[in-house]
């Protein structure tokens, strides 16, 4: 059922205000650079090898003195079948058929601080498991401690062998390269020490902000997409040299292939580039339009996209999406035959673009608290679909088949077993399905529920404040919850979200029983008739005196079947058209409503406006006195129509 929307005029003013304020605010906000890179990467297409060299400038932004540095060497996850990443792949058997040249790795040839060779003390460490064979985290000792505020400038030379595409990284055939997680990347020094996890099957990334200045040397015929803005480009002999620069980012990825077709557009001051695979040209416009739509909506909600460029890459091989700063991938399903009403291109572009905000700018630790980007971002995706295409059939609307993005998220919650809490390290979930249902769908549906309960305007103002406070920083779950408490103080909402995050459970309220019977004459002895007559839950209708009214006693039993708790509302519908509304805090396992009313009870409905999409079982949300299922929703629909249109009905607290 329709959500309450603010009047259109008010919305326009609000949005205009946001956009204007956002411009000024965004201009002033940048990241404190902690880890910056000046690199040169020479791609040897035939050998599938990247020769890298350059400098890493790292600053100790904590109050703690350190005697070691830790680096992610992500590409070593693809080194052999014994890395933690490969061991965690339940279908790793497939990779046993990989040929030796199809694996990937990274070798550090030089790592120096001034004249000191840091590789002398280098060792692989395994902070997450005891897998001695995993080589994705390297620790080096420093010749002297680095105190708070001090900087280290390192010289680095490395070789990165690309794997045949795996986890969205590597090569396919002779002429497609997607190069991500390809350089030695400093971990994040936190007040408690280094946070530098191994690469896992389900984990994504965590890094500090900085400036990336990267010179790429690629085959002369390659079309390139990369993080940041292209500063200069020239061809010499058989290669092309391109220099990219990106500020306020925490990663750098690039892609090169002679087969890309390039399409461009712009939104505000940002240039949009779409790189399409041959044969997918027909979808280019959809990619561009989806990117512009996402930029517009996110700009309205949280403030404008602050980077000068966005590159959208239609990758080869597996379709789907992935996010890197200012560069996202959005592969095409079904090539040119994708019907307009199947909005998978839009879904991927919306989602991956959203990550520029949730991960790109608000940079939580994806290893440990993936919900802070995946969950919030999936909520934004649901919201974007509803705003753009309406609440019904916004994801799929083909040949009478309709599905909304919210329904899809709910279906995942209903159908896929996910016996973990949301708050769990990415590699500690029972499997990838549980990781993704918990990190994405569960949070998306829970936050949509909170938006509807708290009110769209308030909820969005809270989320915008959270974005502004944590942009270019690293928030944790408690930061989200404490701001929520400040901005939306109802304890039930925070309590609900905490349950969603910490308890592997679900939410389900229902109407267990309804009954109604005509009140007879009092029977028995010592009965006080006068007292019985004042026990009325509703005033008799006009024109009828209390004396000739027939009274009915009705009873409704509401139940909480799930672990999660939320305040809920119940609507009672009577034979004469009357409705009564009751609120229940939802805390106990059941709640009884008893009513004396001059008409028979026909039905009872819990959550009549559908404000709680988190309630996964809708079948028990209504019950009629006569066993008649279909009619009740008609009654409710009529009631909601009248409610929204003309009447405001009295509400009753139980
Ligand atoms: Zn995502």
Q: How confident is the model at residue 323 (pLDDT cuts 50, 70, 90)?
A: very high
| CA-wise closest residue to 208 among 147, 154, 249 | 249
Q: Measured in angstroms, how far is the CA atom of residue 615 from the centroid of ligand 1?
A: 24
Q: Measured in angstroms, how far is the CA atom of residue 580 from the centroid of ligand 1?
A: 43
Whether the Cβ atoms of residue 34 and residue 150 lie closer than 8 Å to each other? no
Q: Measured in angstroms, how far is the CA atom of residue 377 from the centroid of ligand 1?
A: 7
Whether the Cβ atoms of residue 273 and residue 311 lie closer than 8 Å to each other? yes
Q: Measured in angstroms, how far is the CA atom of residue 483 from the centroid of ligand 1?
A: 23
Q: Residue 361: what pLDDT?
A: 98
Whether the Cβ atoms of residue 177 and residue 256 lie closer than 8 Å to each other? yes
Place of tokens 């411009």: 23
Kindly tell me if the per-residue pLDDT of 538 is higher than 80.
no
Q: Measured in angstroms, how far is the CA atom of residue 351 from the centroid of ligand 1?
A: 6
Q: Measured in angstroms, how far is the CA atom of residue 440 from the centroid of ligand 1?
A: 8
The answer to whether 32-250 and 509-522+529-539+548-653 have equal CATH topology is: yes
Q: Residue 27: what pLDDT?
A: 40
Polymer length of the chain = 654
Alpha-carbon gap, residue 320 to 633, rounded angstroms: 38
Question: Coil, strand, or helix at residue 9?
Answer: helix
Alpha-carbon gap, residue 622 to 637, rounded angstroms: 13
| CA-wise closest residue to 166 among 201, 139, 203, 129 | 201
Q: Measured in angstroms, how far is the CA atom of residue 364 from the centroid of ligand 1?
A: 13
Q: Measured in angstroms, how far is the CA atom of residue 332 from the centroid of ligand 1?
A: 17
Q: Measured in angstroms, how far is the CA atom of residue 322 from the centroid of ligand 1?
A: 7
Q: Does domain 357-504 bear CATH number 1.10.390.10?
A: yes
What is the mean pLDDT of the segment spanning 397-407?
A: 93
Q: Measured in angstroms, how far is the CA atom of residue 188 from the centroid of ligand 1?
A: 21
Q: Measured in angstroms, how far is the CA atom of residue 439 from the centroid of ligand 1?
A: 9
Q: Measured in angstroms, how far is the CA atom of residue 66 from the centroid of ligand 1?
A: 33
HEC letters along 615-631: ECCCCCCEEECCCCHHH
Q: Residue 510: what pLDDT?
A: 97
Q: Measured in angstroms, how far is the CA atom of residue 348 from the centroid of ligand 1?
A: 9
What is the mean pLDDT of the segment spanning 143-164?
A: 97
Give the contacts of 12 (CB within 8 A, at least 6 positions apart): none
Q: Residue 160: what pLDDT?
A: 98
Alpha-carbon gap, residue 265 to 290, rounded angstroms: 12
With residue 35 as reference, give the H or E element that holds it.
strand 35-44
pLDDT tens-digit series, residues 480-497:
999 999 999 999 999 999
Kindly tell me if the per-residue pLDDT of 544 is higher than 60.
no
Q: Residue 421: what pLDDT?
A: 97
Kindly tell me if the per-residue pLDDT of 278 is higher than 90.
no
Question: Which has the higher per-residue pLDDT, 336 or 43?
Answer: 43
With residue 313 as reference, give the H or E element that holds it.
strand 309-313
- Residues of the chain with pLDDT > 90, as a percent, come to 77
pLDDT tens-digit series, residues 426-460:
999 999 999 999 999 999 999 999 999 999 999 99
Kindly tell me if the per-residue pLDDT of 651 is higher than 70.
no
Give the contacts of 67 (CB within 8 A, at least 6 positions apart): 141, 142, 145, 146
Question: Which has the higher per-residue pLDDT, 326 or 27?
Answer: 326
* Least confident window among 119-128, 227-236, 306-315, 622-631: 622-631
What is the mean pLDDT of the segment spanning 312-337?
A: 83
Q: How confident is the model at residue 318 (pLDDT cuts 50, 70, 90)?
A: low
Q: Measured in angstroms, how far is the CA atom of residue 324 from the centroid of ligand 1?
A: 11
Kindly tell me if the per-residue pLDDT of 539 is higher than 50.
no
* Least confident window among 272-276, 350-354, 531-535: 531-535
pLDDT tens-digit series, residues 33-82:
999 999 999 999 999 999 999 999 999 999 999 999 999 999 999 999 99
Alpha-carbon gap, residue 590 to 275, rounded angstroms: 56
Angle at 318 between CA 313 and CA 322, to 5 degrees: 45
Q: Does domain 260-334 bear CATH number 3.30.2010.30?
A: yes
Kindly tell me if the per-residue pLDDT of 545 is higher than 60.
no
Q: Measured in angstroms, how far is the CA atom of residue 415 from the centroid of ligand 1?
A: 20
Q: Measured in angstroms, how far is the CA atom of residue 170 from the centroid of ligand 1?
A: 20
Whether the Cβ atoms of residue 606 and residue 593 lie closer than 8 Å to each other? no
* Domain range 32-250, its CATH number among 3.90.1150.10, 2.60.40.1730, 2.40.50.140, 3.30.465.10: 2.60.40.1730
Whether the Cβ atoms of residue 496 and residue 606 lie closer than 8 Å to each other? no
Q: Measured in angstroms, how far is the CA atom of residue 641 from the centroid of ligand 1?
A: 37
Mind giving me the DSSP string for 21-32? Answer: HHHHHHHH----
What is the mean pLDDT of the segment spanning 124-132?
A: 96
What are the phi and psi torsion angles at 490 (to 5°)?
Answer: -55, 115
Mind giving me the DSSP string for 188-239? Answer: EEETTEEE-PPP-SS-------EEEEEEEEEETT-EEEESSEEEEEEEETTE
**Burial status of residue 542 (CB atoms within 10 A of its CB: 0-12, 13-18, 19 or more):** exposed
Mean pLDDT of the chain: 89
Kindly tell me if the per-residue pLDDT of 334 is higher than 80.
no
Q: Where are the domains of the chain?
A: 32-250, 260-334, 357-504, 509-522+529-539+548-653
Q: Measured in angstroms, how far is the CA atom of residue 366 from the centroid of ligand 1?
A: 10
Q: Residue 22: what pLDDT?
A: 38
Whether the Cβ atoms of residue 283 and residue 348 lie closer than 8 Å to each other? no
Q: Measured in angstroms, how far is the CA atom of residue 374 from the centroid of ligand 1?
A: 5
545: tokens are: 């005196």
Euclidean distance between the first and the last CA atom of the chain, given in angstroms as a whole number: 24
Assigned CATH class of 509-522+529-539+548-653? mainly beta
Q: Residue 567: what pLDDT?
A: 96
Strand order in the sheet with 270-276: 261-267, 270-276, 309-313, 327-330, 321-324
pLDDT tens-digit series, residues 68-107:
999 999 999 999 999 999 999 866 566 777 888 999 999 9
């Amino acid at each position: 059922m329709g959500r309450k929307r603010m009047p259109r005029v008010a919305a326009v003013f609000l949005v205009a205000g946001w956009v204007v304020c956002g411009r000024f605010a965004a201009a002033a906000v940048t990241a404190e650079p902690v880890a910056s890179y000046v690199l040169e990467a020479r791609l040897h297409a035939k050998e599938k090898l990247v020769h890298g060299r350059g400098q890493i400038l790292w600053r100790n932004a904590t109050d703690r003195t350190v005697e070691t540095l830790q680096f992610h060497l992500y590409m070593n996850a693809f080194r052999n079948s014994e890395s933690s990443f490969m061991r965690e792949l339940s279908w790793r058997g497939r990779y046993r058929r990989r040929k030796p040249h199809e694996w990937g790795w990274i070798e550090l040839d030089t790592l120096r601080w001034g004249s000191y060779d840091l590789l002398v003390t280098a060792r692989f460490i395994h902070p997450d498991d005891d897998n001695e064979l995993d080589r994705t985290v390297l620790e080096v000792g420093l010749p002297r401690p680095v105190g708070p505020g001090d900087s280290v400038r390192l010289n680095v030379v490395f070789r990165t062998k690309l794997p045949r595409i795996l986890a969205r990284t590597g090569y396919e055939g002779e002429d497609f390269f997607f190069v991500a997680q390809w350089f030695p990347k400093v971990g994040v020094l936190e007040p408690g020490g280094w946070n530098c996890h191994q690469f896992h099957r389900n984990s994504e990334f965590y890094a500090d902000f900085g400036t990336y200045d990267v010179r790429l040397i690629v085959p002369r015929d390659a079309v390139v997409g990369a993080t940041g803005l292209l500063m200069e480009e020239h061809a010499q002999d058989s290669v092309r040299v391109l220099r990219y620069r990106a500020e306020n980012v925490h990663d750098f990825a690039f892609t090169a292939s002679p087969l890309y077709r390039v399409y461009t557009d712009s939104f505000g001051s940002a240039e949009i580039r779409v790189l399409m695979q041959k044969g997918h040209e027909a979808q280019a416009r959809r990619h561009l339009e989806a990117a512009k739509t996402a930029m517009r909506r996110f700009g309205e909600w949280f403030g404008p996209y602050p980077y000068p460029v966005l590159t959208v890459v239609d990758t080869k091989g597996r379709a789907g999406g992935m996010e890197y700063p200012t560069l996202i991938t959005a592969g095409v399903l079904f090539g040119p035959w994708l019907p307009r009403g199947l909005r998978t291109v839009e879904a991927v572009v919306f989602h991956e673009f959203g990550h520029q905000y949730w991960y790109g700018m608000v940079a939580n630790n994806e290893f440990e608290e993936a919900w802070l980007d995946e969950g919030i971002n999936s909520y934004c995706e649901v919201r974007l679909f509803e705003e753009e295409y309406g609440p019904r059939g916004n994801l799929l609307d083909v040949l009478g088949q309709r599905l909304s993005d919210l329904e899809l998220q709910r279906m995942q919650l209903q159908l896929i077993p996910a016996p973990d809490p949301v708050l769990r390290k990415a590699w500690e979930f029972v499997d990838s399905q549980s990781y993704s249902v918990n990190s994405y769908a569960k949070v998306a549906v829970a936050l949509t529920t909170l938006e509807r309960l708290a009110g769209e305007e308030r909820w969005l103002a809270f989320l915008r404040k959270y974005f502004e406070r944590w942009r270019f920083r690293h928030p944790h779950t408690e930061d989200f919850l404490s701001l929520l408490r400040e901005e939306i103080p109802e304890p039930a909402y925070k309590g609900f979200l905490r349950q969603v995050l910490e308890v592997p459970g679900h939410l389900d309220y229902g109407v267990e029983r309804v009954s109604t019977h005509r009140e007879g004459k009092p029977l028995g002895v010592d009965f006080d008739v006068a007292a019985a007559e004042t026990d009325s839950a509703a005033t008799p209708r006009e024109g009828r005196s209390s004396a000739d009214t027939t009274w009915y006693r009705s009873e409704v039993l509401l139940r909480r079947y799930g672990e999660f708790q939320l305040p809920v509302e119940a609507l009672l519908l009577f034979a004469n058209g009357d409705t009564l509304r009751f609120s229940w805090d939802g805390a106990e396992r059941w709640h009884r409503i008893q009513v004396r009313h001059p008409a028979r009870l026909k039905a009872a409905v819990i959550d009549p406006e559908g404000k709680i999409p988190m309630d996964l079982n809708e079948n028990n949300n209504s019950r009629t006195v006569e066993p008649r299922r279909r009619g009740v929703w008609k009654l409710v629909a009529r009631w909601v129509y009248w409610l929204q249109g003309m009447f405001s009905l009295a509400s009753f607290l139980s």
